Each structure stands twice: as C-alpha cells, then as structure tokens.
Amino acid sequence: MTSGTAATARDAITEGRTALGIELGSTRIKATLIDEAGAALASGSATWENQLVDGLWTYSLDAVHAGLRDAYADLVAVVAKEYDTQPTTFGALGVSAMMHGYLAFDADGELLVPFRTWRNTNTGPAAEKLSQTFGVNIPLRWSVAHYYQALLDHEPHLADVHSLNTLAGYVHRLLSGTNVLGVGDASGMFPIDAATGGYDAALLEKFDELASAEGAKLRLAELLPPVLPAGAAAGELTKAGAAVLDPSGTLRAGVPLCPPEGDAGTGMVATNAVSKRTGNVSAGTSIFAMVVLERPLATMHSEIDVVTTPEGLPVAMVHCNNGSSELGTWVGIFAEFAAALGVSATSDQVFGAVLGGALEAGADADGLLAYNLLSGEPIAGLEEARPLFVRTPGSHLTLAGFARAQLYGVFATLSLGMKTLAAEGVAIDTMFAHGGLFRTGGIAQRVLASAVGSSVSVGESATEGGSWGIALLAAYTRAVANGTAADRDLGTWLNETVFAAAEAVVVEPTEADIADYAAYLDRWTAGLPVQHAAVDAIR
C-alpha cells in the first residue's frame, strides 16, 4: 500500500467513514473493516471451537463474548500497525453468524439451555412431522425443528421460553438492544412468504396447532424476532454494546447497525450472488451451495432447503454439515511431520504442498475414498458419521491420489444435492466460490467445478468471506440511509459500487473432469454402508 493510499485509509478510519463486519463462524470469529467502496482495510480474528455437551454441539455465551472482544482487539491492533490510528466509531456495523440452531431465552433475557448449533441432528422426528404438515422441507438444523423437538420431548425449560433467536440475532441484540433479524437468517428459523417478506402466516397457524397439542402456551410469532430486509435500519450500538467489543471505552456508542444475517446470506453478498440465476458455494467447516431461483421448485426435496437472499428472494440451498475440517486435520498431521524434520512452513504452504499434486493423480483418485464426515449428514442419510479413509488392497496409494480423494470427498455430499437441482431444471448463469480452501492455486476450484458440473468463479476477495459480506451489508444500509444508494436494490448496488472493477478467475470443467468425479462419486455413494457399520461398531 502506498503512503498516499494509507493516508486516505487512515482518514476514513479516523473520521468513521467505514463499515465493520463481524462474523461468528464455526472455528473463527472474524472482524473486517472496509472503506466506502467496499475495499477491505483490515481484519482481525479469534479462534474458538464447539463442544459436545450432553450429546449436543454447543458454544457457551461466555465464549461468544470473549471471542467478540478478542477479534475486535485483534482488528484494532492491525489498524494501529498498518495506519497508526485507532477507530473510535464506524459509519455502520453488521453482525453475522452460523445460521439455524436454537437459542431460547426467558423473560429476563437469560439463556434457558445451552445454545444448540446447526450441527445437531437430534431433531429428526420434529423435522419429519413439520415437513409433512407444511409441505415444505424443514431441515434438522432449522430453529423451528429444534423448538418443536423440545416440545415433543417435553423439555422442562419450555415453560419459561419467552423468545427464540439465532446466534447473529443474539449478538445483534447484545450490541444494540434491538431484537430483529435479517430475512435471510430468519429464513433458517421458519419459512418466509416471498410475497410479504415475513414469516409465512399460514404455516405459523399450522405450527401453532401442532405446538398447542404438545402444551405450548405462546404462539410462535410471539417468540420469533421481527424480520427486516437488507438496507433497513436495525438499531444503533449502545454504550453497553460498545463495551462488549471494546472494554477500554475507546469505541463510542451510536454506530448504526444493519439487520443481522446468517453466513449463507453474507456468502451470497461476498460473492455477488444475490440476483436470479446466480449461485455460490461456501466451503468451510460446513459446505453449502446457494442458487437464487427464478421460480419455485416443483416438488419438495429433503436435501434442498428454501431460504432467501438478504433482500428476500427465494434461494435453493444445498447444505452439508461436513466440509473441509477433516482435510484440515490431515494437513495438520503433515505440518507436524514437517516440523519433526525441522522444516518451518505456514499453513498455506503445507496445504499447497499436500494438494499440489491432486490434479495429477490417476483416474478416480487412484481407487482411494475419503469420507470427511465428522457429524451426521442428512443428504447422505447419516444421523451420525465417522471420518474414514478407505482403499482396496490393490489401490495405488500416493500423496497425489490421497490429496485428490480428500478434495473429492469434501464436495461429495454437495454434488449429490446439486444433482437434485439439475433434475429440477434450475438454471445457473454464474457459480461463485469463496472460503479459505480456494487459496490453493485453483486446485479446489477445479475440483468443485467438476463436482457441480459448471464453471466456477473465484474473486480476488473470496478469502475475505462472510465478515466482508456483512460489512458490505452494513455499508449498504448506510448508503440507503444517506441517499447514496439512489433507490438501487442490493444486487445493483453491489455491481456498481463494489464489483464493477473486480477481477475473478473462472474455471470451466472438462468433460473428462466431470466424468472422473462422477465415477468417484458413484464409488463413494456405494460405500456409504461402511459409514453405517462404523457408526454401529465404533463408539
């Protein structure tokens, strides 16, 4: 960065002409600061991990608070180093987090049971009953499935439930005192009516009939947060909220907030995939594809969720509970091996070394199979799973083949879901991808293109991810408020303000690539009974 550019950025930071986005991901909490044109100026982060408590995956609220504080402090340190200043305010602020899950609070705002994350698969009976009753697929991880399962199980905390929320909605309320939710995140709590932009009223009535039979006293609409679209004002940072982020007192109250969103929505924004016939793939601990629909799906599919963009357009979502975590664990082992040899290498260097030969392996990954499954995977029909690497005695075991099998395994369940959309005739003009996995010199990008059977574009800001996406949504809210958005919808504003000069690398899959991945997927699918056997035998 030139000194002139640095000085311009420093002025923007000092004067509060910036937007801050904070996203609570599954392994990292990241804060990204952007300028008025959407360019990332600095990022800070903190790591955290979920815990398995009483058989359910959770994060403690203490960990939420500590992670927010640490990520913000890291951002401030980066800003001080790069620009020799410290932010005291921002033009706008936004919060995003992992979608779905279950946060139940009493009338005093106290959490009644530990946060139940999207990763839990104990909600099968509830999801099945709701899907049958609604005629709409209700995934295991949706908030309404968690709540109804608690009703079916007659959990004692239900007598005190006063409100339900997502993680993003909780943090937004913590910072602003305002109980609202962006429509994209809300669509992971309960189905949205595309005509009204709010919760589907007819389905709310159906739910209340079911819930009252199980002893529920309050209507669901009384428990859910009000819904807001992108660009709407969603409260301001309070003095107490500022202290959550910055206990030093340097950060001032009064910063306007945009509606809190889920990581699916921020992924759409970060890849400029919010308009019809666009799609994106986000690869991390979980992996999912989003395609903005031109028309409703013809039939209900258990492997397809229907959610919305941050503006409320319907989206078909293929969500896989398992992504690149197991691959990351294997890469960690190779890093340990390198360290044992006295070789110092960064994480990116080790990833590059391990995956570098993946595209040079023999056909069908040399007969190797990787089941990168740490938790249940509904698309594959698995309530639980065991990570496995499998090969036949006659297979050819090489590092290149191993890496290829691992990458193929990362996208296997996603590919199964995309086949369903293709059969529905869903059209995609452009598929974008983002996430740290795509830093590997186009390797993961080419495998993904083979897995979904279409071109895949990775932009220069792909690795910024959801924290950049929610920062852009915050900037859009500011632009709407001050009139600079000029009645432009979110897609138009992104195209004209943020992505007009953006560069991207596009990979087109070859017929040979698609056929090779299809052969791997056939063997991978045929081997799924091994997973069931492993779950039964290994406890």
**Residues, the chain:** 539
pLDDT digits (tens, 9 = 90+) for 275-288: 998 898 988 888 88
Q: Can you tell me whether residue 318 is helix, strand or coil? A: strand
Query: Domains in the chain and their CATH numbers?
Result: 263-323+415-507 (3.30.420.40), 348-411+511-537 (no CATH)
Residue 328 to residue 436: CA distance in whole angstroms:
11
Q: How far apart are the first and last CA of the chain?
A: 53
Q: How many CA atoms lie within 13 A of 315 on its CB side?
A: 31
What's this model's pTM, rounded to 2 decimal places? 0.83
Distance of alpha carbon 117 from alpha carbon 99, whole angstroms = 8
Beta strands in 463-538 (DSSP E): 504-507
The helix/strand/coil state of 272 is: coil
Residues 6+ apart with CB under 8 A from 325: 27, 285, 372, 374
Query: What angle (nearest 5°) sits at the alpha carbon of residue 162, between those of residues 158 and 167?
Result: 95
What is the 3 state secondary structure string of 21-57? EEEECCCEEEEEEECCCCCEEEEEEEECCCEEECCEE
Distance in angstroms (rounded) separating the CA atoms of residues 238 and 223 = 23
DSSP letter string over 171-193? Answer: HHHHHHS---EEHHHHTTTS-B-
Q: Taking the CA atoms of 182, 185, 188 and 193 in sequence, report the sign of the dihedral they define.
A: positive
Among 257, 396, 385, smallest CA distance to 321 is for: 385
> What pLDDT is recorded for position 295?
87
Q: Which of 154, 121, 159, 161 is nearest to 535 (CA)?
A: 121
Q: How far is CA 506 from CA 418, 457, 500, in A?
A: 19, 4, 16
Kindly give the pairing relationship between strand 163-165 and strand 181-182: unpaired
Angle between the N-to-C axes of helices 399-410 and 511-526, in degrees from 0 to 180, rounded to the nearest 10: 80
Q: What is the pLDDT of residue 170?
A: 98
Instruction: List residues bridging with 319 in a β-sheet.
Output: 288
Q: Which residues contact 10 (CB under 8 A, 6 or more apart)?
A: 83, 84, 85
Is residue 116 within 8 A of residue 157, CB to CB? The reply is: no
User: Can you give the pLDDT at residue 4?
Assistant: 53
- CA separation (Å) from 86 to 13, 33, 38, 236, 432? 8, 12, 19, 20, 34
> pLDDT tens digits, residue range 483-517?
998 789 999 999 999 988 888 889 999 999 999 99
CA 379 to the chain's CA centroid: 17
Given a contact cutoff of 8 angstroms between Cβ atoms, the answer to whether 400 and 423 are in contact is: no
DSSP code at position 114: -
Per-residue pLDDT tens, the chain, 539 aa: give them: 444 588 899 999 999 999 999 999 988 999 999 999 999 999 999 999 999 999 999 999 999 999 999 999 999 999 999 999 999 999 999 999 999 999 999 999 999 999 999 889 899 999 999 999 999 999 999 999 999 999 999 999 999 999 999 999 999 999 999 999 999 999 999 999 989 999 999 999 999 999 999 999 999 999 999 999 999 999 999 999 999 999 999 999 999 999 999 998 998 998 889 999 889 898 888 888 999 998 888 889 888 889 999 999 999 989 898 999 999 999 999 999 999 999 999 888 999 999 988 888 777 678 899 999 998 898 898 989 999 999 999 899 999 999 999 999 999 999 999 999 988 999 888 788 877 788 777 899 999 999 998 889 887 665 567 899 999 999 999 999 999 987 899 999 999 999 888 888 899 999 999 999 999 999 999 999 999 999 999 98
Cβ atoms of residues 280 and 271 within 8 Å: yes
d(CA 470, CA 493) in angstroms, rounded, equals 14
Please tell me the predicted confidence (pLDDT) of residue 2: 42
| pLDDT for the residue numbered 1 | 44
C-alpha–C-alpha distance, residues 350 and 356, integer Å: 10
> Beta 430-434 vs 278-283: how paired, if at all?
parallel
The pLDDT value recorded for residue 3 is 46
